[in-house]
């Protein structure tokens, strides 16, 4: 027997098998080399695009405000013409010819007569005392009568 030839008595510990340990390589960090000019070119292109978008937005906003201004000016013109139309209608309603026609037809009023009334001052006959004649007017005694007599004189002069 072959096993008898092996002597296990001396080695009471389990045999250690040497396993092959894989070689670990250290990897150095690698950095990508980037072109600074291309990054700068991309950033400038992006900035130009954003600037162009903002510029187009502002142009569109200005054009739309222009259209709004034109429409508001047209609306103002329409309102002014409507206002003038209303003023014309008010002038028609308030005309003196229309008011006179309404007064005579609907309210039954008549035109005043063209006769002028003149007030006369009452005078007291003259009293003779001796050789002198003294006219006595009743208007000389009261101040309101004086004012009335003066108004009557003015009215007679204006006729």
pLDDT digit string (tens) for 96-115?
Answer: 999 888 888 988 888 877 77
Q: Which domain holds residue 60?
A: 36-82
Total count of domains within the chain: 1
Q: What is the largest CA-CA distance in the chain?
A: 209
In a domain, 72, yes or no: yes
In a domain, 49, yes or no: yes
Give the C-alpha separation, 40 to 46, whole Å. Answer: 10
pLDDT computed for residue 14 by the predictor: 60
Give the C-alpha separation, 70 to 72, whole Å. Answer: 5
Closest C-alpha to 101, from 89, 115, 93: 93
Helix (H/G/I), strand (E/B), else coil: 2? coil
pLDDT computed for residue 138 by the predictor: 47
Cβ-contact 146, 140 below 8 angstroms: yes
* Structure tokens belonging to residue 23: 């070689």
In a domain, 61, yes or no: yes
In a domain, 56, yes or no: yes
- Residue showing tokens 């510029």: 55
pLDDT computed for residue 139 by the predictor: 42
In a domain, 60, yes or no: yes
> Does the structure show a pLDDT above 60 at 137?
no
pLDDT computed for residue 41 by the predictor: 94
In a domain, 136, yes or no: no
In a domain, 11, yes or no: no
pLDDT computed for residue 16 by the predictor: 57
> Does the structure show a pLDDT above 70 at 128?
no
> Does the structure show a pLDDT above 60 at 8?
no
In a domain, 31, yes or no: no
> Is 155 or 13 the better-scoring residue by pLDDT?
155
- Residues written for the chain: 159
Q: For the whole prediction, is pTM greater than 0.85?
A: no
Helix (H/G/I), strand (E/B), else coil: 12? coil
């Amino acid at each position: 027997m072959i096993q008898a030839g092996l002597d296990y008595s001396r080695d009471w510990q389990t045999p250690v098998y040497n396993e092959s340990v894989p070689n670990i390589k250290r990897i150095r960090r690698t950095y990508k080399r980037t072109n600074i000019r291309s990054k700068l070119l991309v950033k400038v292109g992006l900035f130009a695009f954003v600037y162009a978008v903002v510029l187009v937005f502002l142009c569109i906003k200005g054009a739309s405000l222009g259209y709004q201004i034109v429409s508001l000016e047209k609306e103002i013109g329409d309102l002014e013409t409507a206002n003038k139309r209303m003023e014309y209608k008010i002038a028609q309603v308030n005309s003196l010819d229309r008011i006179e026609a309404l007064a005579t037809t609907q309210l039954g009023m008549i035109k005043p007569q063209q006769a002028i009334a003149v007030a006369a001052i009452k005078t007291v006959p003259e009293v003779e005392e001796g050789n002198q004649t003294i006219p006595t007017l009743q208007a000389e005694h009261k101040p309101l009568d004086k004012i009335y007599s003066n108004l009557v004189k003015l009215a007679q002069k204006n006729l």
